[in-house]
Structure 1
Amino acid sequence: MYPNLLLKRASLTPNRIALRFYEKEWTFAQVYTEANVFAEKLRTKGILPGMRVAILASSNPQLVVVLHGCIQLGCELVMLNERLTEGELSYQLQDSNADYLLVDSFEIRNLAYPKRLSFEDVHLAEQTAFEMEKEWPKDRTITIMYTSGTTGNPKGVRQSLENHVMSASGSALNLGVQPHDCWLCTMPLFHISGFSILMRSVLYGMTVHLHTKFDAEKVVEDILSGTVTGMSVVAVTLERIITVLETKNLSFPNTFKSMLVGGGPVPLNYLERAIKRNIPVLQTYGMTETSSQTTTLSSEDAIRKLGSAGKPLFFADVRIDGEENIGEICIKGPHVTTGYIGASELRNPLVDGWLHTGDMGYIDGEGYLFVLDRRSDLIISGGENIYPAEVEQALVKHPAVQEAGVAGRSDDKWGQVPVAFVVLKKDTGEEELKAFMKTQIASYKQPVAYYFVEQLPRNASNKLMRREFFKHIKDT
């Protein structure tokens, strides 16, 4: 058993600042009180402990209270990505079999669901008192986040209380914890990268300085104020921060300690420029199934171990599964998911206790992990994971498309962008396909270019050879 995290934190440091949003601040005692009031109103609306509640909302203080309120009530949170299309969201709601859907606003959320409530609906309700649990079982599911598999079918990943606690503990042992730590959060709270910051906040007694969305100018302003000590970014947002500093000929103060960068290796050019601006970059490797970080590269090793994601955090273990030095990355530890839900519920993510990630890499003689290929065909664009099969499945829904293949193309701004290769069965054009795809999948998954070909390269097993796509185009 673990203690009720928010209750414990509010009792330890009630007057410490938990949340900052623009000029407004909330102490841990205030967050605890508001969360419990919201939990009691959820009871009035018929939401009970153990129910599965899907949440669709933008990152702001109201969402923080809603998340904590649902957790206090004992609900499982299905974290919905607000960037997805209505069809994608509907699939996740049906697959998760959510008891209720909570949205921040009916005006901006057109998603239909039998049991749907707005935050305002709950706030207007009366309070129904209930006995709050002072201890929580370690295996209790706190969150469910969807991550598409290589087949293109989204999988609902369970993240237990122990997963979150041990992930935060491993990060604390790596970075250290100080009473006046403040983490700038521009990552969406529906992502593990954002939600994990909230969990670390409660466990560490750390302030979260929340932004609704990323704004490089505002980020630089907040860090230069000297109140922010850490932040999580991806390579493309790191570069935007560096550019602002360079334009203004500024550097970060020594009060800023950690810039965690995930979503793929950081280019050498970024690292060299970051060093000149006193940005302590720490490259990381993690995934939804590992509740955020598994390995982290210290800033002092950033150049010496260029391209490495670092060493495993204290409670994590990493090995390479393969006959050669390069093979599949496997992860073990208490931060690894307890399993999936819905259509993937019967699929055990662990083999003899190890999570087989599908990512390829190697570990050098000093124990540093190098990730060579994330799930072989995975496209990482601006830190977002794009699975080719998911885009392909959307493309072949068009009546003119016979076959489709998608691969990533290098891009100076986003790292990679998706490109589509299409075999037609009747005439159509690129503009028509682009218009169609806007109705099928989120904007960041849209192919930036379309090539019309007579056939797609396949191997003897009739599987697409995505790495041959661009060569295939050149040869035709």
Structure 2
Amino acid sequence: MYPNLLMKRARLTPNRIALRFQEKEWTFAQLYNDALEFAEKLHAKNIQPGMRIAVLASSSPELVFVLHGCMQLGCELVMLNERLTEEELSYQLNDSNSDFLLVDSHEKRNLEFVKKFSFGDVQAGKRNVFEIENEWSKNRTITIMYTSGTTGNPKGVRQSLENHVMSATGSALNLGVQPNDCWLCTMPLFHISGFSILMRSVLYGMTVNLHTKFDAEQAIKEILNGFVTQMSVVAVTLERIITVLEEKNLTFPSSFQTMLVGGGPVPLNYLERAIERNIPVLQTYGMTETSSQTTTLSSEDAIRKLGSAGKPLFFAEVRIDGKDKIGEICIKGPHVTKGYIGAAESKNPLVDGWLHTGDVGYIDEEGYLYVVDRRSDLMISGGENIYPAEVEQALVKHSAVKEAGVVGRQHDKWGQVPVAFVVLKDKVSEEELKEFMKNVIAPYKQPVDYYFVDQLPRNASNKLLRRELLKYLNEN
């Protein structure tokens, strides 16, 4: 058993600042009171402990109150990605068998869901007192986040209380915890990278400076003010911060301690420029199934171990499965999910206690992990994972498309962007396909270019050979 996290934190440091948004601040005592009020109003809407609540909203203080309120009521949170289309969101709502849907605004989305409330609907209601649990089971599911599999079918990942607590604890043992710590959160809260910051906040007693979206100039301003000590970014947003600092000839103060970078390796050029601007870059490797970080590379090793994702955090174990030096990355530890929900529920993510990631890499003689391939076909665009099979399945929904193959092309700004190879059965233009895809799949997953071909390269088992498509791209 673990204590009720927010209740415990509010008792330990009630007057410490928990949340800061623009010019407003909330102490941990105020955060707990606001969360409890929302929980009681949810209960008045006949939402019971143990129910599964889907949440679709932009990052805001209200969303923080909602998430903590749902946790106080003992509900499971299904975190929906705002960037997805209605079709994708509907799939996740149905697959998760959510009991209710909470949205920050009815006007934002036209989702058809019978039991749907806006934050305002709940806030306008009455309170219905219920018995708050002082202790929470470590096996209790806190969040469910969807991540696409290599088959293109999104999988709902269960993240337990133990997963979140041990992830935060492992990070604390690596980075250290100080009373004046403040994490600048520009990552969306529906991502594990954003939600994990909220979990660290209540466990560490740490302030979160919350932003609705990333703005390089605003982020730099807060760091230069000396309040912010940590921040999480992807390579694309790191480069934007560096560029602004260079344009203004500024460097970060010594009060800023950590820039965690996930979503793929950081180019050497970025690292060298970051050092010039006194940005302590720590590269990381993790995934939704591991509730954030598994390995982290220290800033002093960033150049010496270029391309490495670092060493495992204290409670994590990493090994390479395979006869050769390079093989599949496998992860073990209390931060690793115990399973999925919905269509993927029967799939056991663990083999003898190890999560087989599907990523390929190696560990050098000093114990540093190198990720060679992010799941053989995976693309990472601006820190977002894009699986070719998911885009291909969206394309073949068009009546004129017979087959489709999708690969990633290198892009200076985004890292990679998807490109589609299409076999047609009826006439259709590239413009028509692009218009069609706007309503089927999220904008960042849509192919930037289309190649119309007579056939796709396949092996004897009729499996698509994406490496041949990549070869074509590289030659043209």
* Distance in 1, Cα, partners of 2:447 & 2:245: 32
TM-score by length of 2: 0.99
Letter in 1 for 2:152: G
Contact 1:235 1:382 survives alignment (8 Å): yes
Q: How far is 1:471 from its partner?
A: 2.6
* Counterparts of residues 397-476 of structure 1 (less than 5 Å): 397-472=397-472
1:314-364 deviation per Cα after TM superposition (whole angstroms, max 9, x unaligned) = 000000001100000000000000100000111100000000000000000
Q: How far is 1:290 from its partner?
A: 0.1
Contact 2:318 2:330 survives alignment (8 Å): yes
Letter in 1 for 2:26: W
SS in 1 for 2:459: coil
SS in 2 for 1:46: coil
- Residue 304 in structure 1 maps to residue 309 in structure 2: no
* Distance in 1, Cα, partners of 2:230 & 2:394: 39
Letter in 2 for 1:143: T
Letter in 2 for 1:458: R
Contact 1:457 1:472 survives alignment (8 Å): no
SS in 1 for 2:269: helix
SS in 2 for 1:418: strand
Letter in 1 for 2:444: Y
Letter in 1 for 2:106: F
Contact 1:76 1:142 survives alignment (8 Å): yes
2:230 equivalent in structure 1: 230
* Distance in 2, Cα, partners of 1:468 & 1:294: 33
* Distance in 1, Cα, partners of 2:83 & 2:201: 25
* Counterparts of residues 192-231 of structure 1 (less than 5 Å): 192-231=192-231
* Distance in 1, Cα, partners of 2:395 & 2:370: 33
* Distance in 2, Cα, partners of 1:315 & 1:145: 22
- Residue 328 in structure 1 maps to residue 357 in structure 2: no
2:66 equivalent in structure 1: 66
* Distance in 1, Cα, partners of 2:57 & 2:192: 15
1:358 equivalent in structure 2: 358
* Counterparts of residues 46-195 of structure 1 (less than 5 Å): 46-195=46-195
SS in 2 for 1:187: coil
Provide closer, same or farther for how the CA distance between residues 474 and 193 of structure 1 changes in structure 2, counting only shifts above 3 A.
closer
1:17-68 deviation per Cα after TM superposition (whole angstroms, max 9, x unaligned) = 0000001000000000000011001010010000000000000000000000
Tell me how large the CA RMSD over aligned residues is: 0.9
Aligned length: 476
Letter in 2 for 1:270: Y
* Distance in 2, Cα, partners of 1:255 & 1:472: 49
1:12 equivalent in structure 2: 12
1:80-136 deviation per Cα after TM superposition (whole angstroms, max 9, x unaligned) = 001100000000000000000000011112211010011111101111111100000
* Distance in 2, Cα, partners of 1:311 & 1:468: 34
2:257 equivalent in structure 1: 257
Provide closer, same or farther for how the CA distance between residues 124 and 473 of structure 1 changes in structure 2, counting only shifts above 3 A.
closer
Letter in 1 for 2:211: H
SS in 1 for 2:81: coil
Q: How far is 1:470 from its partner?
A: 3.4
Letter in 2 for 1:49: P
SS in 1 for 2:318: strand
Gaps of 5+ in 1: none
- Residue 338 in structure 1 maps to residue 338 in structure 2: yes
Q: How far is 1:454 from its partner?
A: 1.1
SS in 1 for 2:183: strand
TM-score by length of 1: 0.99
Letter in 1 for 2:15: N
Q: How far is 1:473 from its partner?
A: 6.0
* Distance in 1, Cα, partners of 2:475 & 2:307: 32
* Distance in 2, Cα, partners of 1:158 & 1:263: 21
2:43 equivalent in structure 1: 43
Q: How far is 1:462 from its partner?
A: 1.2
Q: How far is 1:400 from its partner?
A: 1.1
Q: How far is 1:472 from its partner?
A: 3.9
Letter in 2 for 1:64: V
Contact 1:17 1:28 survives alignment (8 Å): yes
Letter in 2 for 1:264: G
Aligned-pair identity in percent equals: 80
Letter in 2 for 1:240: R
Letter in 1 for 2:83: R
SS in 1 for 2:343: helix
Contact 2:86 2:109 survives alignment (8 Å): no
* Distance in 1, Cα, partners of 2:430 & 2:261: 35
1:135-180 deviation per Cα after TM superposition (whole angstroms, max 9, x unaligned) = 0000000000000000000000000000000000000000000000
1:210-267 deviation per Cα after TM superposition (whole angstroms, max 9, x unaligned) = 0000001101111000000000000000000000000000000000000000000000
* Distance in 2, Cα, partners of 1:130 & 1:360: 49
Q: How far is 1:372 from its partner?
A: 0.6
Letter in 2 for 1:213: K
* Distance in 2, Cα, partners of 1:265 & 1:231: 17
Letter in 1 for 2:386: I
